[in-house]
Chains A and B, each alone.
Chain A
Amino acid sequence: MTRQFLRRLAALLPVALGVVTLTFALIHLVPGDPVSAMLGDYAAPADVAQMRHDLKLDLPLWKQYGGFLAALAHGDLGQSISQREPVALLIREHYPATLELAGAGLAVAIMIALPLGIIAGADAGGPGDIAAMGFAILGISVPHIYLGPLLMILFSLDLGWLPLTGRGGFAHLVLPAVTMGTALAAILARMLRQSLVRIGSADYIRTARSKGLSERAALLRHGLRNALTPVITLIGLEAGGLLTGSIVTEMIFSWPGLGRLLMTAINNRDYPLVQGCVLTFALSYVVVNLITDLFYRAVDPRIRLG
């Protein structure tokens, strides 16, 4: 098990290399120039040339790439061109906020999805199912950009229970987490419901029923565990998406996360910062998927880490 886990960890290396190579190529291929963004409209050509030299942007692309990889091998992500701070420091400042938001969003999603999915699955076609799935459709349909301000108006402005924006304590986290988590909760609840309905016709559930268990008891006692496997797969995939897709929520709630940092870096063609942010996102995605695999194993011992 440990060996398998370590093997998966080692597989992160080629993924990281692929991501940095792709990011490096893409950001250098699109038009735009960090020197123009930094020196502005009135820069003299000599100053532009000097700065390109100082930042080693005048070197052939393969040499820049080699230099970037060599620095990365020493754990150096470089210096942000626009913010004049080490990229690692900027990521260290912003990543906890993104992690906090994504984690809280996921927690909210699970807390909503489990009861909803079970109610709908156990009462397929009944009023509980209709109500739960109605909520699910609503959750999927309402975009963050609309739900966020709606929650703000209700809970911050009208009721005065929660702060409007910014990052602080638990109270600051609730609204962005609910905004992030609602759509995912809806997807997870629908998946759990479908999974429970499908399992309802399985042989072992029929056996359980024939032994005298009620429809609902047979499904919940014997079917739920198996029904959760695809849900966990989905949680793994979506958790990575939560980390990388929090930009809209970060904008609405003035949340100082990595998504906003990346957007600013792209606009400024801040090559080192873009590369650092994308690498962080990509590695996070891979690690989250690894954790998902571990969860699989806990739920279904037949699954082994590949």
Chain B
Amino acid sequence: MAHGNRESADIVTWAKAIAYAAIVCLFALSGCAKPAPLASPGYLQIDLPTAPTAIDPRVTADAISSRVAELIYDSLVRIDRTGAFAGDLAESFERPTPTEMVFHLRRNVRFSDGRPFTARDVKFTYESILDPATLSIKRAGLVELAAVTIVDDYTLTMTTRRPFAPALALATIGIVPRDSSIPGKAASPAPPGTGPFRLARFARDEAVILARNPYHQSLANAVPGLALKVVPDPTVRALELSEGICGFAENDALQAELLPYLAAQPHLRIVRSPGSTYHYLVFNFRDVRLRDLRVRRAIAYAIDRDTIVASMIRGNARVATGVLAPENWAYDGNVTQYPYDPAMARGLLEAAGYSAHARPLRLTYMTTPEGLRLAEVIQAMLRRVGIKIDIHTNEWATFYSDLRNGNFDIASSQWVGIGDPHQYYEIFDSHMTPAAGGNNRGDYSNPRMDQLVEAGDATIDPVVRCAIYRDVQRLSAADLPYVSLWWDDNVAAFDRRLTGFEPYPNGSLLSLAAAVFPTENRLVRTAP
């Protein structure tokens, strides 16, 4: 018995030891963590769905990184809320010849570390991007740039290789100080900029904290800083907004299904504005069946886009007529339209020699897991007219590889941030096929289209250019290399006390630089 008691005591001691070890382990682990608040009081918290991969404007690639970078870095010109180019670091600019742009720079501008800004910084930034060692995504966008020449400290010229109408887009890259290290080789994740904010802290996958640039003029009562916090889960982002922990979120950070819940919160304001993100279906012209215009038109007529926008997207979009949204200066809505008409679709298919029983049309539809719901809806709609769709979903990288290699019959995708109609050259010119490294992913070819989009690029006169793109829009709607689906609305949800936010069609957060948010806000609620 004595032995039994000793053993039981051992067991109890041992079990206790495990439990105590677990508790100690829990506390020790938590003790390793730094109990630091996210940001200083008064900062406006903005929730982001994914983390920015880079801050340096020479290498930013994804939309979120670009949104953050433009809060820190000014560029020579900027696209304003109407989609037009406006001076930023350039006080004024002119185009004396079709291949030359002259920029007159603002004086007394300083980077956030106090260094003065001059034309040499601009030249350095562009040379740095063009240096192959930088491995910059933006190098490809500068293919038309022949030279950047300094005239004096506050004047410089940019020369293009040929008359290139959208050349001002070349001047929208954020400027870094000369002698900034190559991205990834520097101690800091980002050099200083001349924009309204400076990078105060970059916690990868957690948050980006931006404080005011002391050398940038701002309103006395404007927000002292921004805390851009990475919150991957959409429900949690909605909870943070509803509880006042987060002060602002927009577009990808807001799930359409959760918008009614957010709209019901009395302290939140939902602002919708027209956006330019364009959703489409692309046809593969390598497939002989899809080269038949009747088949493409049948598919366009068989898709009820009004219902999709009203139900799936809950009205947070507009049914699209083409790549360019109505706010674009070159937009023309007087094009062939394809309202939902299954009878018309069946007739066109029959005329093309397809019938649901004798010779059904069977196509592969490539999409991502996020696009699966739309694919299933389109599958059901096409089934009604006798077209069978096999849906293939792959994660983004595989889908993108298939898309770029033309490995699809139909694919759904989107174009983000379209400003200049030059985009038509990128996606519909027959020289821009995937084999040539271009974005004409369906191998669409029409000599008339080539002629138009190439003329659109070479014509500087905006009136003539506008007429050219009117024809481009009509031809693309008639020829149907894409079925236009919808343009996303920009949706922002924010605390009612926040004033000064102005939505941009491309989703830019720039207006938050002048926003005012009461300092007694509940920015970061910490545990008692």
Which residues of A are at the interface with B, using a C-beta cutoff of 8 A? 30-33, 36-45, 47-48, 50-51, 54, 79, 82-85, 90, 93-94, 96, 99-100, 103-104, 106-108, 110-111, 114, 149, 152-153, 156-157, 160-173, 177, 208, 211-213, 217, 220-222, 224-225, 251-254, 256, 260-261, 264, 266-269
Contacts and interface: CB of A to CB of B under 8 A. Distances in A.
B184 interface: yes
A261 B205 CA distance: 8
Interface residues of B, number: 74
A77 B15 CA distance: 41
A45 B437 contact: yes
A108 B401 contact: no
Given A47-B139, A254-B236, A266-B395, A164 B400 contact: no
B137 A103 contact: no
B429 to A, nearest CB: 13
B527 A171 contact: yes
Interface of B: 1, 4-5, 7-8, 10-11, 14-15, 18-19, 22-23, 25-27, 29-38, 50-51, 53-54, 59, 61, 132, 135, 137, 139-141, 143, 183-184, 203-207, 229-233, 235-236, 239-240, 243, 245, 394-398, 400-402, 404, 426, 436-437, 439, 525-528
Contacts of B232: 251-252, 254, 260
Contacts of A153: 239
A104 B35 CA distance: 16
Given A39-B140, A50-B132, 17 more contacts: A33-B401, A36-B404, A43-B137, A106-B22, A107-B26, A161-B527, A164-B236, A164-B245, A167-B206, A168-B34, A169-B34, A171-B35, A172-B527, A213-B4, A222-B4, A256-B230, A267-B396
A20 to B, nearest CB: 21
Contact of B233 (A40, A107, A110, A252): A252
B23 A107 contact: yes
A100 B32 CA distance: 8
B254 to A, nearest CB: 16
Q: State the 4 A-B residue pairs at the shortest beta-carbon distance, nearest first.
A: A84-B184, A169-B35, A221-B8, A32-B397
A13 to B, nearest CB: 29
A296 to B, nearest CB: 14
Contacts of A251: 232-233
A50 B397 CA distance: 21
B1 A152 contact: no
Contacts of B235: 149
Contact of A162 (B35, B436, B527): B527
A169 B397 CA distance: 36
B239 A157 contact: yes
A211 B240 contact: no
Contacts of A32: 397-398, 400-401
A298 B207 CA distance: 44
Contact of A100 (B29, B137, B204): B29
A79 B184 CA distance: 9
A85 B184 contact: yes
Contacts of A156: 243
A167 B11 contact: no
Contact of B397 (A149, A152, A267): A267
A225 B4 contact: no
Contacts of A264: 50-51, 53, 205
A79 B7 CA distance: 55
Given A161-B528, A221-B4, A256-B205, A110 B18 contact: yes
A224 B135 CA distance: 62
Contacts of B205: 94, 256, 260-261, 264
B33 A169 contact: yes
Contacts of B230: 254, 256
B140 A152 contact: no
A160 B244 CA distance: 13
B439 A41 contact: yes
A112 to B, nearest CB: 10
A83 B497 CA distance: 37
Contacts of A33: 397, 401
Contact of A31 (B184, B398, B526): B398
A168 B140 contact: no
Nearest to B186: A84
A170 B31 contact: yes
Contact of A39 (B30, B50, B137): B137
A269 B527 CA distance: 39
Contacts of B206: 166-167, 254, 256
A44 B236 CA distance: 40
Nearest to A81: B135
A43 B8 CA distance: 72
A264 B397 CA distance: 11
Given A252-B236, A268-B397, A96 B30 contact: no
* Of A31, A37, A220, A251, most B-chain CB atoms within 10 Å: A31
Contact of B236 (A96, A152, A169): A152
A117 B394 CA distance: 43
Nearest to B27: A170
B240 A165 contact: yes
A33 B398 CA distance: 8
A254 B51 CA distance: 10
A266 B205 CA distance: 15
Nearest to A102: B29
A173 B11 contact: no
A114 to B, nearest CB: 6
11 contacts: A36-B401, A47-B139, A108-B26, A149-B233, A163-B527, A168-B33, A172-B30, A173-B26, A224-B15, A264-B50, A266-B395
Contact of A165 (B50, B231, B404): B231
Nearest to A251: B232
B25 A42 contact: no
Nearest to A163: B527
B393 to A, nearest CB: 13
Contacts of A149: 233, 235-236, 239
A261 B14 CA distance: 38
A170 B30 contact: yes
* Of A50, A165, A170, most B-chain CB atoms within 10 Å: A165
A82 B235 CA distance: 28
